[in-house]
Amino acid sequence: MQIHEQCPFCNPHNDPDQHIIFENDTCYFLQHNHQQNVLEGCGVIVPKEHRQDAFSLTKEEWTDTYDLLQQAKEYLDKNFAADGYTLGWNVGKVSNQFIFHSHFHVIPRYNDEPLAGKGLRYWIKQPENKRPKK
């Protein structure tokens, strides 16, 4: 395994607030204590090998990501009673990726949260986000 010393997803055991909930041969499902205050139950699925983004995943990592997603949903439904989910990858700085190790966000959503009903597409439909004409 190639070690990237500064990468929190290459070294999940180095952060005592980061917890491996599930893992399989190639991936982890992680939750971080600091995110649980607002994003209750949220986590990420990351490959164990350093991959910059989702486009770099192997077929085995894609399959293992799918398997962990199913486990995570069952776990989150049971332990957090999620009403829905927002799922996704940020790829590149412009999309708000700031840890350049592929991570698939698994975010449980709840009917009583202030931003309920505002998913991924809400933000890209806002008029203030329209690109300037050239």
What the chain holds in terms of domains, given with CATH numbers, is 12-129 (3.30.428.10)
Express as a percent the part of the chain with pLDDT over 70. 96
For residue range 36-89, what is the model confidence (pLDDT) as tens digits?
677 789 999 999 999 999 999 999 999 999 999 999 999 999 999 999 999 999
Give the pLDDT confidence score for residue 3 in this predicted structure. Answer: 55
Cα 90–Cα 120–Cα 132 angle in degrees, nearest 5: 80
User: From the CB of residue 105, how many other CB atoms can be counted at a distance below 10 Å?
Assistant: 16
